[in-house]
Amino acid sequence: MTPLLRPPTLPADDLLLLLREWCPEAEIARAVTGTGVDIVGARVPVERVRDVWEIGRRRHGESGWWPYVTSASPGGEAAYQDERGYDTTEGGLDTAEWERSVAEVVLQDHDARAASVVVSTFRWSTKGLPFDDEDFLGWRDDHDPDRLAPLLRPAAVGPMLGMPRWATDRSTSRDGMRWVNFMSARGGYELPVLLPCLYANPNWFGHGSRCLTPLDDAALLRRWQEQWGAQLFFAAGPYLELVVDRPPLDPRGAAQAATELYAYCGDTVQDAVGAGNGMARSTMWSLWWD
């Protein structure tokens, strides 16, 4: 294991034994990427992935391993990362950049980086619009939570119950099965940096030809975890799902979440008002980059 990585409290061999206890009928596997990232996983029916994931996240504090649901085995994940994740011809990071990202993910100002994603999207969307243009004011409403909040419904009594769209979808899973993989990490927000190809956000555009980086992903995920208890649940290809323990219920908080979701994944969140009244106040955030 590279010294830049955080060693888990529980050794990988012990985690393998635990997974066999939690999932006695499951296929269990382990793999290591070329950069030293250890991945351990269990292949379970889609009906069980939420339960296994919940057990894993409850035990994260004592184990140091963060669970995530996906379609790839640990070996498949490692092979794909080694093939594509660090290939600069495919838009990936070289190993030196990856090592810098691993070191920076803990130290970066995640709130500031998350805000820069919103600003970058706004500037790209409004480039060339005159300041008195009606469209410009409309874009401001979508990107400014203080302007968006008055357009939203009053505070909700409780969160909307959200359901996974892809993690438990039998039609998109092989044989009705998914992998619940585990990685040594401080939280799910570190996974996009540790595995740069864990999920992809194509067709995202920012000001000055900016593209999203794993550090951008990590910043938004960490911010959402701290603000609203949003935890990385499912990640595969262009799909990402978060379980949200404390979604914002008041208009201002929902507006803040909606503007960030809108800026991060406009393919899914195409209406900031709708997101502020809906997804932002839900216990599940399902995002898809087309």
Average pLDDT in the 61-85 region?
94
User: Do the Cβ atoms of 71 and 174 come closer than 8 Å?
Assistant: yes
pLDDT, tens digit (0-9, with 9 covering 90-100), for 88-125: 555 566 788 888 999 999 899 999 999 999 999 999 98
Count the residues in the chain.
290
Residue 234 has pLDDT above 90, yes or no: yes
User: Do the Cβ atoms of 43 and 176 come closer than 8 Å?
Assistant: no
Helix (H) or strand (E) holding 31: strand 27-32
DSSP string, 52-96: HHHHHHHTHHHH-EEEEEESS-HHHHHHHIIIIIT-GGGT---HH
What pLDDT was estimated at residue 171?
78
Average pLDDT in the 135-161 region?
91
Residue identified by tokens 């357009």 is 151
- CA dist 120 to 107, 132, 208, 288, 290, Å? 22, 20, 8, 20, 19
Helix (H) or strand (E) holding 74: helix 74-80
Q: Which phi-psi region, left, alpha or beta, contains residue 32 (left: φ > 0; alpha: ψ -120 to 50)? A: beta
Residue 36 has pLDDT above 70, yes or no: yes
Residue 4 has pLDDT above 80, yes or no: no
What pLDDT was estimated at residue 1?
45
Please, what is the average pLDDT of the chain?
92
What pLDDT was estimated at residue 142?
87
Average pLDDT in the 33-56 region?
96
What beta strand segments (E) does 162-224 contain?
177-184
User: Do the Cβ atoms of 194 and 37 come closer than 8 Å?
Assistant: yes
Confidence of residue 85 (pLDDT cuts 50, 70, 90): low
What pLDDT was estimated at residue 95?
82
pLDDT-above-90 percentage for the chain: 79
How far apart are the C-alpha atoms of 278 and 56, rounded to whole Å? 28
